[in-house]
Amino acid sequence: MSADLAEGESRLLYPPPGLPPGGSGAPPAGPADEDLRVVAARHPGRWLATGVVAVLLAMVVSSLVTNDRWEWDVVARYLTWPSILEGAWATVRLTVTASIVGFALGTVLALMRLSRSPLLQGVSWAYTWVFRSVPLLLQLLLWYNLAYLYPVLSLGIPFGPEFLFFDTLDLIDKFWAAILGLGLSQAAYSAEIVRAGILGVDQGQHEAAASLGLPRHRQVRRIILPQAMRSIVPTAVNEVIGLLKGTSIVYVLAYGELFYIVSVIYGRNGRVVPLLIVAAIWYLALTTLITVVQYYVERHYAKGALRTLPPTPLQRARWEAQVGWARLTGAPVPDGVPPAFAARVRVGRWVAPRTDRGTA
């Protein structure tokens, strides 16, 4: 690296053709060009900022450690308490089920909105309007009280005979009331995300799929949606994370998800703060998990959008180790490592390429 710079510097110092060496501002005499020393720029501001942030961090850590009101021993004890684990699992189940309901229905709503039928468009628009406007808390309580409006649910022909009957209270327990509330309102938001994704796919892709005579459902499923996913996934994951935390609102139904369990326990033993920390740690852990999944899902849909996919952190670590070992022992670099990657590894550190897109 420094050798490159020195070379660049010295090249700049060459006088333009036609001028005598040493003319027009060049130093009259001194060390030969190749002996010029490179001095890195100094950044006092950066050092100052680093110092300030380091002190602030130290203050935070010290207060976390020395203030015994955090009661870290209580936190540790309850972190893997059986009922807390059950609560965390209930939160996961709520999040997964509501996400599936939300995105499945959202995709249908998005396709309805993009269809050419005014009725389908109108229904989709009205759905989004209603479910985005009414607060989630209110929706949850309404669904939970569905049995008051309709004690018996039946399947049949409108204004005609009915065939199948269900007792509403049996069908819609706390879990399903929560799923209806979370999933149906999620669908309203997902619909817009999916619609934006579909609109983001180049018009030429729609035309190419149509000109090949592909059936409509195949055009959507094979050609359009996979390409829309690239812009859908980041926002959709945002929504899933929002939903994960949003499940805590279900405590109003006294359903045993993480936050409800935590509030029950601190109601009994009065250890409010440590138990809130327990819940916070679990939400943090679950969100981290989702973020990791997001990375791999995004990578999957990036196929074809990038010329070459960057290595995953695991691949990178493995390749670095292999190349580093090969350099140390003088052995050849294993076949599994891309040559372009091996060439960029310097002293065991991977240097990112300047850009992912080459020129045609």
Partner 1 sequence: MSGGLLEIRGLHKSFGLLEALRGVDLTVRPGEVAAIIGPSGSGKSTLLRAINHLEKVDRGFVSLDGELIGYARRGSTLRELTEREILRRRTRIGFVFQNFNLFPHLTVLENVVEAPIYAQGRPRAEAEAEARELLARVGLADRADARPRQLSGGQQQRVAIARALALRPAVVLFDEPTSALDPELVDEVLQVIKELAGTGTTLVVVTHEVAFAREVADTVVFMDEGVVIEQGPPEQVLDRPANPRTKAFLEKVL
Minimal distance, residue 203 CB to partner 1, in Å: 9
Q: With respect to partner 1, which residue has the nearer C-beta, 329 or 355?
A: 355
Examine residue 340 and tell whether it contacts partner 1 (CB under 8 A).
no
Choices 72-80, 147-155, 255-263, 303-311; region in contact with partner 1 by CB under 8 A: 303-311
Q: With respect to partner 1, which residue has the nearer C-beta, 190 or 219?
A: 219
Report in angstroms the alpha-carbon separations of 291 from 239, 288, 295, 298. Answer: 12, 5, 6, 10
Examine residue 211 and tell whether it contacts partner 1 (CB under 8 A).
yes
Q: With respect to partner 1, which residue has the nearer C-beta, 305 or 347?
A: 305
Rule CB under 8 A: choose which of 301, 310, 324, 326 binds partner 1. Answer: 301
Q: How many residues bind partner 1 (CB under 8 A)?
A: 25
Two tokens, residue 69: 């009101």
Examine residue 307 and tell whether it contacts partner 1 (CB under 8 A).
yes
Q: With respect to partner 1, which residue has the nearer C-beta, 133 or 211?
A: 211
Name 75's bridge partners.
none
Examine residue 351 and tell whether it contacts partner 1 (CB under 8 A).
no
Rule CB under 8 A: choose which of 214, 264, 281, 297 binds partner 1. Answer: 214
Examine residue 339 and tell whether it contacts partner 1 (CB under 8 A).
no
Rule CB under 8 A: choose which of 52, 207, 285, 351 binds partner 1. Answer: 207
Rule CB under 8 A: choose which of 8, 23, 156, 215 binds partner 1. Answer: 215
Examine residue 268 and tell whether it contacts partner 1 (CB under 8 A).
no
Examine residue 310 and tell whether it contacts partner 1 (CB under 8 A).
no
Cα–Cα dist 28/50, whole Å: 42
Examine residue 115 and tell whether it contacts partner 1 (CB under 8 A).
no
Q: With respect to partner 1, which residue has the nearer C-beta, 227 or 247?
A: 227
Residues in contact with partner 1, shown as a per-residue x/- string from 217 to 246 under the rule CB under 8 A:
-x---xx--xx-------------------
Interface of this chain with partner 1, residues 146 to 205, rule: CB under 8 A = 202, 204-205
What are the residues binding partner 1 (CB under 8 A)? 202, 204-205, 207-216, 218, 222-223, 226-227, 301, 303-307, 360
